[in-house]
Amino acid sequence: MRQVLFDDLGEEVAIEGDARRVVSLVPSLTEAVEVSAPGLLAGVTDYCTHPAGLDVTRVGGSKYPKVDEVIGLRPDLVLANSEENRPEDVQRLRANGFPVWVMEAAPTVPAALGSLRRMLTQALGVSEPDWLVTAEEQWREVVPERARAVVPVWRKPWIVLGRETFAGDVLHRLGVSTLYSDHEDRYPRPKLDELAARFDSGEADLLVLPDEPYEFTADDGPQFFPGARYALVSGRYLTWYGPSLVDAHRELGAAIDAALRD
């Protein structure tokens, strides 16, 4: 039976029968699918690290997947993300007759969870997973502001969280506002002097350093902001949509609490 659906971008996704061979080009979606419906994944990217021990074909990176190898797997459905995957790769897969479900780069936690629910229950025909309901309950409330943060996601050059980002909303719900949330860009590139001045002036009182996509550590990141309180956090907990959100609320909250006590 052929079903015609529409992804987050309003593009038609026509699936013949049940999607039983799925290729995921997004690490967070890989985890969401494997936890919710084990055995559906036929291929994933080299960066799909969760769940640990996932033994399926690797098809390269998210930005530069080996499209020929994806095609060779003859998937019933390919999963992609509007921010992580290139439009030309999505178009090539569709031109070769393979349906691609593109998830929007969600600006908030509720939007991400709503998108995941549609993808899992409609495109894959999976029953609503317990982790999704738990995550919605955990992240529903917004803690009053208790810190104003600069959140770099890259160095060389410096790139920080800007407006309407999923990670920014994660922090917002934990009581941490991001200093560049009103910037015109989602990922501004301020100079280091500007970032340091934010702390010197008192505008910022917390530095949040994730370990991905750039791997900030205690020895690589804090030294550029002498005296600033900082929290080293899991990039997966900060930026991934999916089952990791259940643990993320506790783990990120604890890291922020510890930084603010220092």
- Please write the tens of the pLDDT for every residue from 194-233: 999 999 999 999 999 999 999 999 999 999 999 999 999 9
Q: Is the confidence at residue 2, as pLDDT, over 90?
A: no
CB atoms within 10 A of CB 187: 15
CA distance 208 to 229: 9
- Please write the tens of the pLDDT for every residue from 15-38: 988 899 999 999 999 999 999 999
Look at residues 255, 113, 55, 241 and name the one whose alpha carbon lies nearest to residue 175: 255
pLDDT of residue 106: 94
Domain span at 52: 2-128
Do 9 and 44 share a domain, yes or no? Answer: yes
pLDDT of residue 62: 86
pLDDT of residue 233: 98
- Please write the tens of the pLDDT for every residue from 82-103: 999 999 999 999 999 999 999 9
Do 10 and 123 share a domain, yes or no? Answer: yes
Residue 36 included in any domain:
yes
Number of domains in the chain: 2
pLDDT of residue 224: 97
pTM for the whole structure: 0.93
Token pair 């010197």 is found at 200
pLDDT of residue 3: 83
Q: What is the DSSP letter of 60?
A: B
Do 72 and 147 share a domain, yes or no? Answer: no
Residue 110 included in any domain:
yes
Do 204 and 253 share a domain, yes or no? Answer: yes
Residue 42 included in any domain:
yes
